[in-house]
Structure 1
């Protein structure tokens, strides 16, 4: 029998039966389990709400992209038509096409350069390689 209140079995100073250490550990285990389930449920709810909002935002951005595309189409037609008054319509269409071809080439080159600079997740890969040593109790190998 322990002299520390609340530990061991027996009657405490207030006359109530004290739970055993096993019972206390069982309660703690249940409480931690309940807490973890509640945290997972909260995370699911938050992620679900975030995904819904992200979906709505993506839909709106898609709509904005389509509208922007239509603006470019009509501006291109206007440029083509306007140049058609200065030169033949066929030549003005070729000029507009060459302008858009140059824009596409510049964007493609810049996009390719950005993609080739992607390194992935180097820090994550480095720390992930340390997990097996840590699980085996060889943390000193990770330093």
Structure 2
């Protein structure tokens, strides 16, 4: 006797498969949430690391700005110009690191799509019992 096709299965067979399908759906949703949380944690980590790098470079900027002020007061023009150039380069590095860090933080703070999908699935399952009231 051949196996019944999807069109030929009985209602009881379909109802019997429903718990397995719901369980598989919930597992898939949970796996998706884990993947999204991992993605967000990665981008928050990258952003935090880049901000720490920017803070580290900012310490060097402070040192060069102090050196620049000392040399400017001494009115030694070539040394002052060199120190100001180094300070400008460090400012550009800090700005670049902060820009990349902010971009990563924004990527990591996007809402989780899977959680909303799981809520809809749960609401649909809870609402399934409400249809027999009407």
Normalising TM by the smaller chain, what interval?
0.3 to 0.5
After TM superposition, the score normalised by the length of structure 2 is 0.45
Q: Which has the higher contact order (CA 8 A, sep 6+)?
A: 2
- Larger helix fraction of residues: 2
